[in-house]
Amino acid sequence: MQVYLDNAATTPLDPEVIKTMVSTMENDYGNPSSIHAHGRQVKTMVEKARKTVAGLLNVSPSEIFFTSGGTEADNTAIVRGIIDNGLTHAITSPLEHHAVLHTLEEMEKSGAIRLSLLAVDNKGNVDLHQLEELLKENPRSLVSLMHANNEIGTLTDIEYVSALCKQYHAIFHSDTVQTMGHYAHDLTKLQIDFVTGAAHKFHGPKGVGFLYVNHNTKIKPFIYGGAQERNMRGGTENVYGIVGLAKALEICYRDMAEHQQHIQGLKDYMIAQLKENIHDIRFNGDMSPENSLYTVLNVSFPCTDMADMLLFNLDICGISASGGSACSSGSDIGSHVLRAIGADAKRPCVRFSFCKNNTKQEIDFVVGKLRELCLEKA
């Protein structure tokens, strides 16, 4: 049996998305910047996709800009958000994706900003009291906090953070790459400045994403070279990707309740089976359903000599998952997230991430193989 439990890294394309993209590839090949009929036809498709995404997020189409993915969208929001608004201070957490952390660290190295890192507890919750204290001292700051951590799944209350940022006139950017398509985002209600998404995290194609920019927040382009995306992002549009992204997000919103119930059920089932079958198992992140991303489960296994080989052995068994440890050894610097929450550096950790395609039979197979590996190496 082949089991794919690495959906937080990327998801398989939905068949409906494939069908839509193939049709576009076969029939709609004009450049959307061209003024002739072929170009106009494709331009209409891009704008229809933009309208679809905007409608699902309850914002104006003029606030959606298509990018090459979440990393470009994060970089655009952070760099242009800071420079074009004259900010000299930024606040984030040590748990952010490197698309955020490395960007802010480079801006600090260049002298553009002073960077403050929020404290986090052993479940990955950020210190929101500290955030308010920092905002009192530095009201015109950029705050960048992800909605859900990509490694341990802990959710941050971005509605509360948004209200706090509004109170202190701060600019708020949230990396919602892991939650886009899995939760309903009403961005008008949220009153946030920047939100990012990547299609391949919700059964769309790789290499395409989007940046939401609140119409009250003004920034200049991050990539120059053309007048595409209303002069905000140079480069010929990835038409097939954009069409696929919109279709994928549309499907996610259409079937969201059903998929949430199914995937949460799989996660709960795997937790119960792991507890029953493997002694001294631990879970990383906030495990309460209301504070945990239902698609992600991060597990610390018992300290045995299998630590360095667990993912390799799972792969040999036909199981795809991600993992790491909190330690630094050789060229493997380990997980900055697990280090930040104080995870046991000696324990092998695996991130299992689920999607609508997974089944209980697959979970049984994976838990059985894990039990065998733990017993063999104990």
Retrieve residue 327's tokens. Answer: 């330690």
Render 133-199 in DSSP notation, one character per residue. Answer: HHHHH-SS-EEE--SB-TTT-BB--HHHHHHHHHHTT-EEEEE-TTTBTTB---HHHHT-SEEEEEG
For 287-306, b/e burial (b = at least 16 CB within 10 A) is: beeebbbbbbbbbbbbebeb
Task: Write the DSSP assignment of 277-336 as a string of letters.
Answer: HSTT-EEES--SGGGB-TTEEEEEPPSSTTGGGHHHHHHHTTEE-EEE-SS-BTTB---H
Q: What angle do CA 201, 157, 301 make, to 5 degrees?
A: 60
Distance of CA 319 to the CA centre of its chain: 22
Secondary structure of residue 22 in the 3-state scheme: helix
Beta bridge partners of 212: 64, 195
**What is d(CA 144, CA 175) in angstroms, rounded to the nearest whole number?**
8
- Report the distance separating Cα 51 and Cα 64, nearest Å: 9
Q: How many CB atoms lie within 10 A of CB 225?
A: 10
Q: Which of 275, 316, 323 is nearest to 296 (CA)?
A: 323
349 is catalytic: no
Which among 252, 303, 317, 327 is annotated as catalytic? 327
User: Residues with catalytic annotation?
Assistant: 327
